Amino acid sequence: MFGFTTQPDVLVADPFAGSQTTALAAERLNRRRVTTEMHKEYVQNGFEHFKMNH
């Protein structure tokens, strides 16, 4: 959705990054991104998901 509501190179923040889906979409749409996640298992799973789909 932020692809329609933001301009390229804008910063997208995701405070509940989980599987990093927002980070992947931001990268594909040429948006900068900041993600955080407090659960270690989600961080690791999200990192693997990002690597596989990047």
Name the helix (H) or strand (E) containing 32.
Answer: strand 32-35
Q: How does pLDDT run across 1-52, given as a tens digit for each residue?
A: 788 888 999 999 999 999 999 999 999 999 999 999 999 999 999 889 888 8
What pTM value is reported for the model? 0.79
Burial 17-40 (b: 16+ CB within 10 A, else e): bbbbebbbbbbebebebebebeee
Q: Would you state the pLDDT for residue 28?
A: 93
